[in-house]
Amino acid sequence: MVEITGVLPRSRAEKKGILPGDILLEINGHAIRDVLDYRFRLAERTVCLKLHRGPELLEVTIRKDEYDDIGLEFATPLMDKKHRCENGCIFCFIDQNPEGMRESIYFKDDDSRLSFLHGNYITLTNLHDEDIDRILEMHISPVNVSVHTTNPELRVKMMKNRRSGEVLAYLRRMADAGTKLRGQIVLCRGINDGAELDRTMQDLYAYYPAMDSVSIVPAGLTGYRDKLYPLEPFTPEECRAVIGQVNRFGDKCFAECGQRIFYVSDEFYVKGNVPLPEEDYYEEYTQIENGVGMLTSFENEFRSLLKMLDEDERQTKSHVSVATGEAAAGMIRKLAEEAMAVCPNLHCQVYVVKNNFFGGHVTVTGLLTGKDMAEQLAGKTLGDRLLLSRTTLRSEGDLFLCGMTPEELSDTLGVEVCFTEQDGGAFLENLLGI
């Protein structure tokens, strides 16, 4: 049951007399616990709502078109609290955050509802048989799973949760029911790599076609690992070995079923100094949110738009600077040079910002902080605008990870700060200011 916090004016719910403060118990005889129950049961053309209003028990019937909303609002998008992660993963990035950041940064979610709604990855350890029953009944798909290893004993060791091995059985239940699965393996040097990675890929391949893609990403390590499990980063040579290992298995999959299924993230290629694959390699970019093919996609989007610029756009005057993390710096510099060769009035300076805030080996642009940018860009020639990736901001778009606002960074550096989406075409448009 959930409390209704608002009723939209002129909505079906308002016309039926439903009020803020009413407690929604059931729809069509099914208990409502959260947004998944609500949206699934609301899909019917006729919905009978059972409500509590103080001591009264009410029933309201609403007729509507299939999937139409009825105008109810709730305190949170999930209509419930986020499910907190119950694991103690040896590679957890949140455990490596410095002290003094905003409270929300330290929250670990592991919520199957967010997997469906927003593509978050879950470990399955928060789920039980009745949760899997609901996923199957509602045909929730895809379900994104942080697998890491299919060795039950090793998974318990890596995640420090005694259920983490046994819940792997849920993969078979979902696969047999036709639920689409997408996997993630956070690779830890000397732990789940080598022969263990071969085992995991082989085991996950057995779930094909339900398991249609799996990303292999390196564990992110910051400079705040005191008293945490001792992990070391992959060397460039080891990165190249991982790429070779995964691609050999991917070649096998492609030969047998026409899909590669297994992909390493761009970070392995960058650190291993290996050229990125062409676009065809990534098929439908199903793992792009995990940094798989993101750089290749970005380059292709940028170059496609560059070829399409008309003469007026090519002559646009723009003096801009770009700040980027170490991982994407080579690509950003190359693209800026290509744009300046085509657009004679474009002047672009690319600055690489080292992530001193997190220390360690964090090189991705999305984890840059306003503090590091303010310190390292001070006194630099920044032109009329400083262009940053929107991924450096939290989802609300108002704060960097360190708590600094874009306005504070702009005031500190004395330049307008602008943001671009993670899209190559949008990046080119922002370079030119068109």
Which pLDDT value is given to residue 213? 97
Which pLDDT value is given to residue 82? 66
Pick out the chain residues at pLDDT < 50. none
Which pLDDT value is given to residue 138? 87
Which pLDDT value is given to residue 118? 64
Domain CATH number, residue 200: 3.80.30.10
Do residue 162 and residue 283 come from a single domain? yes
Range of the domain at 31: 2-74
Q: Is residue 170 part of a domain?
A: yes
Find all residues with CB under 8 Å of 131, minimum gap 6, and list them.
112
Q: Is residue 79 part of a domain?
A: no
- Identify the three-state secondary structure at position 233: coil
Do residue 49 and residue 135 come from a single domain? no
Q: Is residue 416 part of a domain?
A: yes
Rounded to the nearest 10°, the torsion over CA 358, 229, 265, 146 is -120
Residue pair 364/336 in contact by the 8 Å Cβ criterion: no
Do residue 99 and residue 194 come from a single domain? yes
Structure token pair of residue 224: 């705040």
